[in-house]
Structure 1
Amino acid sequence: MTDFPTLSVLDLVPVRSDQATGDALRATLRLAKVAEDAGYHRYWLAEHHNMPAVAATNPPVLIGMVAGVTTRMRVGSGGVMLPNHPPLVVAEQFALLEAAFPDRIDLGIGRAPGSDPVTSWALRQGGGAHTGDQAVQQFPEYVDQVRTMMAADGAAIQLPRQTYELRATPQARSEAEVWLLGSSDYSARLAAQKGLPYVFAHHFSGQGTAEALALYRNEFRPSETCPEPRTFLTVNAVVAETRAEAEALALPNALQMLALRTGGPMVAQRLVEEAEQVDVPPAHQGLLDAMLGRWVIGDPASAREQVAAMAEQYGVDEVMIHPVAGARTGADADAAPAREETLRLLAG
């Protein structure tokens, strides 16, 4: 692979200690416009719940906002955590988005809860979806239901005395593109069996990527919508004019991830100056260093080399960048200057 890979964006809508939720949303809309201007291919928004540093709680709402301020990029979910939602609701949401923004909507579907156990319980109570382990066990069936109800023909449900037709929209002319997401081999195998595109959460896990992609490619069964394996790589990235500045900007998000992995207190994302005052326990330093070692961090030339090398290593021609650069004191509350700069510098 000699060409530089196509670039896309993953956004968790981070909330800094100097921001309200509305500020973070406005910063994301600015970031999306920067991404489109820089030539990025797609822009995905995650689903996480009850986290002080993440405002991405509702992908369909965010997708509508981002698609509304852009014109070319594909916009989608990275992903919708399907066990949290009734399949018909997801099908209706993404069918409507596709109707509003034809041939621009991606539905990335995940099986994880995207939250802590108490929040997962609250999400699933009275929502029409099965609760607990049952929702996870029925994940393959839920995927099929969403795809069927989004299709123009809809679903045909056999009742005792009639066949009942069920569609996500009355007159669908196109369908959101469905991807399966995962951080283990479960979704890789399921995507291969169903002939669906697949993405491994390399930005979150960083381990097992090669094995999951090999399993997906080896077991893939062609389908009408996806005749051959389709996948790309996700990676955390911070790019600045110098390596030293990139390392400083990476620290706030790295500390947030460290707290998540070690059971530390979850707080709004620190500013760079606040992060530099944090003493990392010696027992956690190795984990922090290992995480940062899997990220793309550096000046523009070295960062582009890292991205190209990772694309070559994993055999992909698209890399989805999760721009995790923090902000320094004094940054505009409704902007994310270092995240914007990461996208611009990496695009070249």
Structure 2
Amino acid sequence: MSTLPSPALSVLDLVPVRTGQTSAQAVAASLALVSRAEELGLRRYWFAEHHNMPAVASTTPPVLTAAAAARTHTIRVGSGGVMLPNHSPLIVAEQFAALEALAPGRIDLGIGRAPGSDPVITQLLRMSGTTSDVERFPEHVRDIARLASPEGAALQFSNGHTYDVHATPAATGSPKVWLLGSSDYSAQLAASFGLPYVFANHFAGEGLERALGLYRSQYQPSEAHPEPQTFLTVNAIAAPTHEEAEARALPQLRSMARLRTNQPMQPLESVEQAQATPMDGLAQTIIDAMRAKWFVGTGAEVAEQLRAFAAKWEVDEVMLSPIAGSYESEPMDAAPGRTQTLELLTAELA
């Protein structure tokens, strides 16, 4: 029995797409996982924003959040995150204010400033002029928070007149805004705004100590958030045996290695496909480095790693990116490996 406290668990979902799987099947698998996460008592479930990637179907967090909210009753749902430079602040505010009306008190709006894709797609996403100016990111974060609040925002004209703007009429609540990032910039901005902050540890893995230190030491209390609030993301796979967990890690590890060595992207391999084809030396080096930072093993092994991780960084919540791959025999509209990860870990951390 561990003497360390058990952190609360949440989920970050990129809606992975495997070989032979349609986007409809991938989304169906993720929505089934949302329902199971709620049954297991997880705290929140977020969808990421990525574009033009064959192995990722999470292109539209607001749409996926609406679908998840309609299938659940208690778990918080939202974005992890909306890549703000790709969107008009008013549109983001309207989307998430509408979600707040759909599921009052359960909506999280995680906001990031990364593109979420390659340079060509980024240009296509940012054809909206000044709204896509990355340098205006702080201003746009403030705009969204005001527009989505019941009070709304007031535009001030040079002649002294004002024009009231509300994301939705007669709002009674607001989505909870989080800033997301993997750099000092995002940590310091969240601290200066008095906003909750999440370091993208599952993606970056470097600079965590400095980012958390800056956020906590520079935090400026706000009315909504008098104390700093943060949790961390991790890549995790749990299985009945260590060998199965390692096998289920291979498809995602190999996909990330291809991305980082500029190889053509493709849907995720099955476990059998990943095991059948060795990668070259450089790719294997990248795989080994990534694997060392992931949480992979039996339920008991990973649970103990998560307790130690949460205690080290003084957080009471860990958001899992459950990246377990699938065997060829497993159904296309379900994610048994990802479901198994949540089931084993909630049982061990209960």
Q: Distance in 1 between matches of 2:148 and 2:336?
A: 38
SS at 2:131's partner residue?
coil
Partner of 2:131: 130
Amino acid at match of 2:145: R
SS at 1:55's partner residue?
coil
Q: Once structures 1 and 2 are overlaid, which stretch shifts more, 4-13 or 256-265?
A: 256-265
| Structure 1 residue 283, shift from structure 2 partner | 2.2
Partner of 1:12: 14
Partner of 2:55: 53
| Structure 1 residue 18, shift from structure 2 partner | 2.2
2:157 to 139, 156, 159: 159
Q: Once structures 1 and 2 are overlaid, which stretch shifts more, 276-285 or 41-50?
A: 276-285
Q: Unmatched 5+ residue regions in structure 1?
A: none
Partner of 2:273: 274
Q: Unmatched 5+ residue regions in structure 2?
A: none
Query: CA contact under 8 A between 2:237 and 2:322: conserved in structure 1?
Result: yes
Query: CA contact under 8 A between 1:86 and 1:129: conserved in structure 2?
Result: no
Query: CA contact under 8 A between 2:155 and 2:162: conserved in structure 1?
Result: yes
Partner of 2:315: 316
Partner of 1:189: 188
Q: Distance in 1 between matches of 2:189 and 2:263?
A: 33
Cα deviation 1:152-181 (Å, max 9, x = unaligned): 111111124421111101111000000000
Q: Distance in 2 between matches of 1:240 and 1:225?
A: 40
Partner of 1:35: 37
Q: Do the aligned partners of residues 37 and 129 (structure 1) sit closer, same or farther apart at CA in structure 2, a change above 3 Å counting?
A: farther
How many corresponding residue pairs? Answer: 344
Cα deviation 1:223-252 (Å, max 9, x = unaligned): 001111100010000100010100000000
Q: Distance in 2 between matches of 1:240 and 1:129?
A: 48
Mapping 1:204-223, distance limit 5 Å: 204-223=203-222
| Structure 1 residue 46, shift from structure 2 partner | 0.3
Amino acid at match of 1:130: T
Q: Distance in 2 between matches of 1:106 and 1:130?
A: 22
Mapping 1:227-306, distance limit 5 Å: 227-306=226-305
| Structure 1 residue 278, shift from structure 2 partner | 2.5
SS at 1:193's partner residue?
helix
Partner of 2:23: 21
Q: Distance in 1 between matches of 2:283 and 2:58?
A: 27
Pair 1:96 & 2:94 matched: no
1:143 to 141, 147, 169: 141
Partner of 2:107: 105
Q: Distance in 1 between matches of 2:282 and 2:174?
A: 49
| Structure 1 residue 128, shift from structure 2 partner | 5.6
Alpha-carbon RMSD: 1.1
SS at 2:12's partner residue?
strand
Q: Distance in 1 between matches of 2:157 and 2:114?
A: 32
SS at 2:203's partner residue?
coil
Cα deviation 1:324-346 (Å, max 9, x = unaligned): 00000111110011100001001
Cα deviation 1:200-235 (Å, max 9, x = unaligned): 000001111111111100110100011111000100
Pair 1:331 & 2:333 matched: no
Give the share of equivalent positions with the same residue, in percent. 54
| Structure 1 residue 265, shift from structure 2 partner | 1.4
Pair 1:75 & 2:74 matched: no
Q: Distance in 2 between matches of 1:257 and 1:248?
A: 15
Query: CA contact under 8 A between 2:154 and 2:165: conserved in structure 1?
Result: yes
| Structure 1 residue 313, shift from structure 2 partner | 1.3
Q: Distance in 1 between matches of 2:185 and 2:257?
A: 25
TM-score w.r.t. structure 2 length?
A: 0.96
Query: CA contact under 8 A between 2:198 and 2:232: conserved in structure 1?
Result: yes
Cα deviation 1:274-321 (Å, max 9, x = unaligned): 111222111232221110111110001111001111101111000001
